[in-house]
Each structure stands twice: as C-alpha cells, then as structure tokens.
Amino acid sequence: MKMSPIMLVLGGLMVFWASVSLMVIYPALTMKEPPSEIYRVESPEEAKGLDLYVENGCSYCHSLFIRTNDWGEGASRMADRGDYRAMRPAILGTERVGSDLSEEGGEHPDDWHLAHFINPRTVSPVSLMPSWEFMGREKIALLTAYVQSLGGKVGDYRVDRQRIWKERSLAAYRAGPDSNISWIHGQIPPVWLPMPNPYAATEADLQRGHKIYQQFCIGCHGAVGDGNGSARPYMEPPPLNFTTLRRHLVDNKYIGGIFYYQVMNGITGTGMPYFKRILESEKIWAVSNYIAVSFVGYTDAAKAPAGIEAAGEVPWKNSYVPPDTGKGAP
Ligand code: HEC
Ligand code: HEC
C-alpha cells in the first residue's frame, strides 16, 4: 500500500477512534455501578443544590468521600463507588479546609444550615468558610436540600430524626420557658442529673471555659449567655437563655452533669450541636463551669482545691505542698 497523505490521515483517525471506543465508549456502555446499600435517587431540588455546590467551588474546601484514615474522625462507613451512581459531575474534592461532607445529612437541622450559609460565624465563631448570603434564600434552601441528602438512606434516617425532634422541641418551646426547660431536662438520663462538676472552678478553669465559649458557643448563646447571639434570628427554637436556669437546678444543687450531657450530645431537633468529637472531656467540664459561674450565677463544682487528685491535676495554688508520704516524689 502506498503511503499517501490521505492514507496517513485515515489511518490516524482509525487509531484515534479505536482508542476512544476502547477507553471511553465501551466502558461507558458496559460499566454499570451497582447501587450501594445507602444509594437513593436524588430529588430535583437536591440535583439543583448539587449544581450550586459545583458552581460555587465548595469542593475547594470540602471532600465527599470517606477514606480509611477517617475511622478516627467518627465516620460510620467507607465510601463506595455505588454511592455516586448518579452524581454528574462527580467532583469529590481532595481538599479538607472544611470537613468531609459525605455524612452531613441530618447532622444539623435546616435552621442551623440557614444561619451557617448566611454567615458561618454565627454558629461556628472561628469558621473561615465564606458567607453565601448573596445567593438569596431560595438558592440557600436548594443547597441545604443537597447537603441534607448527603449520606443517602442513612442521611435520610438522620434527617427524619431531626424533623421529629424539631416538632417536639418546638412544641416544648411554645409551651413557655419553664416547661421548656423541664422538657429539655426530662430527656436527660436520670443518672446524669445529680452529678456535680468534678473540677474546681478555679480561675484557670474559668478562663479556659471562657475561651471555649468564645470559640464555639457565643454566636448562639450570646456574650452574656442570654441566647441573643447573632444566630438567633435564624434559629427555631432560639438558643437557650442560661440566665434563667437557676430555678431549674436539680435538688437545688446540681447543674454540672446536665451541662456536660447536653454539650457532649447536643439536642437533636434544635440548633444545639454535639461537641463530643471536638471537645475533650476536660474542656466540656470547663465550659460548663464557665456558664454556671458567669450566667447561671452558681456552680456545683467540686470544692477540693486540686480537683481530682489522682487525675494528675496541677495544684491550683502555687504554695500547694503535696503531702509527705516519706517515699519521695511519686
Ligand atoms: C474557604 C473554604 C470553604 C469553602 C469554599 C466552603 N466551606 Fe464549608 N466549611 C469550611 C470550614 C472551615 C468549615 C468548618 C467550620 C464551620 O462549621 O463553618 C465548613 C463547614 C461546612 C459545613 C458544616 C459541617 C458541619 O456539620 O460542621 C457545611 C454543611 C458546609 N461547610 C457546606 C459548604 C458548602 C455547601 C459550600 C459551598 C457553597 C462550602 N461549604 C464552601 C470551609 C469552606
Ligand atoms: C447553633 C447554635 C448553638 C450553638 C453553637 C451552641 N448552642 Fe447550646 N443550645 C442551642 C439551642 C437551640 C439550645 C436548646 C434550646 C431549646 O430547646 O429551647 C441549646 C441548649 C444548650 C444547653 C442546654 C441547657 C440545659 O439546661 O439543658 C446547654 C448546656 C448548651 N446549649 C451549651 C452550649 C455550649 C457550651 C456551647 C458551645 C460549646 C453551645 N451550647 C453551642 C444552640 C446552640
């Protein structure tokens, strides 16, 4: 065969189309991802929300797949290719300036997301996520529908749970402040109610608690603990007012265990998030002492100057001399 320019072009085209067929067309026709156990079809709103997610570059800061090194972060399952069956385009993101969002559905109720999208710092005071207020409420609602769909069927379960508890917490809130608090405390397992804060409310402990409050709580509960933080206009029920809690002390004495339980687990159905994965135990006790002393005006904190002796606490007074056991330093 004579190698003419026409043959060269034809041959080149044949090689090109053979590669495209083998590497693009054939796989696209034959590779059908089996749906994963959590997969479900997206609603039209959620699909529009995904478009907004892609257009606004959310994936520059968030990923949408759980990796093996996420077990320690509280992930409940590994990502499966069948999770992304209908995701077009499949922009999973690799950056994690913010958190992985693949299990975001039902983590928070919609009112939390509204406040967060309008200005992230209202609910997360040191957040560096930008404000999306310019989008307007309609688009924010679509974006919220999308993030609430993340996690598929498991996310739906959490979203349903938020909805049920939202109805209950709103009913309690509308019944008036005192019955609201009784209802909230009624959800706490009884063993936690008469539990004092085991750490002394020393100056260091209160300063630590103050810092934690500013970093995580002030946007909702407000600088003076009355629930008038910047997130309040978006929250239903609104953030709790701590300054009226004194009359709700259990047996006129206890408040520490209640605070610890609520901060650890959050209050499902309300904007109150859980902090069990962010704050260590000691910090939860410290912020509890801070709220109790500064806003409630009373703390049940342990009176012992050194807190829990055996826990390796540094004595709170510089002049504190450990008891002489005759055995030298422990
Ligand atoms: C510049 C980086 C950045 C961009 C861009 C960004 N985020 Fe974030 N996002 C963060 C950070 C940091 C956090 C964690 C602090 C917080 O809660 O605001 C966060 C938190 C979140 C959370 C809450 C996670 C949780 O449950 O605590 C959601 C939901 C979220 N982002 C959605 C979005 C969406 C949707 C977009 C796009 C419209 C977006 N983010 C764009 C940085 C970013
Ligand atoms: C996004 C808003 C938001 C943030 C952030 C937030 N809270 Fe709350 N908090 C609430 C709401 C809403 C309630 C419940 C209101 C209701 O049901 O009436 C609540 C309730 C509580 C309660 C229950 C009090 C009781 O007597 O049972 C405690 C304690 C509490 N918050 C502490 C904190 C602490 C500490 C932080 C920071 C580490 C924090 N909250 C961050 C919104 C928030």
Q: Do both 252 and 303 map to the same domain?
A: yes
Which of 115, 124, 107, 123 lies closest to 162, judged by CA? 107
Q: Do both 193 and 261 map to the same domain?
A: yes
Nearest CA to ligand 2 atom 22: 262
Nearest CA to ligand 2 atom 32: 263
pLDDT over 50 at 250, yes or no: yes
- Which class for 296: exposed (0-12), middle (13-18), buried (19 or more C-beta within 10 A)? buried
Nearest CA to ligand 1 atom 11: 98
Q: Do both 76 and 199 map to the same domain?
A: no
Which of 154, 98, 151 lies closest to 126, judged by CA? 98
What tens digit of pLDDT does each residue of 151-192 get?
999 999 999 999 999 999 999 999 999 999 999 999 999 999
Ligand nearest the Cα of residue 210 is: 2
State the helix-helix crossing angle for 152-174 and 137-149, rounded to 10 degrees. Answer: 120
Nearest CA to ligand 2 atom 42: 272
Q: Do both 246 and 140 map to the same domain?
A: no
Query: What is the total count of domains within the chain?
Result: 2
Q: Which of 100, 118, 152 is the last residue of a domain?
A: 152
Ligand nearest the Cα of residue 135 is: 1
Residue 250 phi, psi (nearest 5): -75, 130
Q: Do both 59 and 90 map to the same domain?
A: yes
pTM summary value = 0.89
Instruction: Establish if 298 belongs to a structural domain.
Output: yes
Instruction: Establish if 231 belongs to a structural domain.
Output: yes
Which amino acid type is present at position 59? S
CA-235 nearest atom, ligand 2: 12
Instruction: Establish if 97 belongs to a structural domain.
Output: yes
CB 102 within 8 A of CB 157: no
What CATH code is carried by the domain that includes residue 141? 1.10.760.10
What tens digit of pLDDT does each residue of 264-305 get?
999 999 999 999 999 999 999 999 999 999 999 999 887 655
Q: Which residue range is the domain that position 271 belongs to?
A: 175-308
**Residues 62, 92: Cα–Cα separation, whole Å:** 8
What tens digit of pLDDT does each residue of 97-137 get?
999 999 999 999 999 999 999 999 999 999 999 999 999 99
Instruction: Establish if 239 belongs to a structural domain.
Output: yes
Ligand nearest the Cα of residue 274 is: 2
